[in-house]
Amino acid sequence: MHAEWPQRWVRERLGYEPGDPGLFAAALTHRSATRPHNERLEFLGDAVLNLLVAEHLYRAFPDADEGDLSRLRARIVSREPLAEIAVELSLGEALQLGSGELKTGGFRRQSILADAFEAVCGALYLDGGIEAARRIIERLMEPRIARLPAAAALKDAKTRLQEYVQSRGLPLPRYELERTEGEAHEQTFWVVCEVEGLRRRASGQGRSRRRAEQEAAEHVLGEIEAAP
């Protein structure tokens, strides 16, 4: 690749003028290619991303508790959304990969793209400091943060039902395995969820006991919401 490759990509895709092009050359180099590669920068960039996204969510969702904020952050700082950002930035086209990864399409692999994007965030932090990293990361993340659902909508049905009864001083829901069907490797579980204080009872089914419990809790919540 041409010697100007990392500077050109950083300028064109991030709108940033690198002070140390070597940092970004390393960030855009997979371990299958050569050294220095991007694993150490990936480690740092993961921490930078988590900090800046957590800070943004803290300010954007003032009523969200710790669990809500953690669930919201997981929607943003995880492999799939980070890989999507990498694709939007044409990061795969800028990556240096070894011949084996090139042959198997490594420049399209989610894990490689997400890791490389984290490495770029680490390089931004080292090269320009936290403010430079914040400015670019927030610009890239803002559309996704704006599309996040309400924090409560990210909670699973069992958590929402438990919080509902606890807020009313009622006994916790009880889950009872009613029966299982099918062979050991392909079973269906039937579970009943009962909330004595509300006189609510519903069943659910799933390929695991946990899924069956979630479905039963969802049905109980549906009855509660439908009640006059």
Which residues are known to be catalytic? 46, 118
Distance CA 96, CA 119 (A): 13
Residue 90 phi/psi, 5° resolution? 55, 35
* Rg, C-alpha atoms of the chain: 23
Element containing residue 157 per DSSP (H, E): helix 157-167
SS3 state at 128: helix
What are the b/e assignments for 128-137, b being 16+ CB within 10 Å? Answer: beeebbbebb
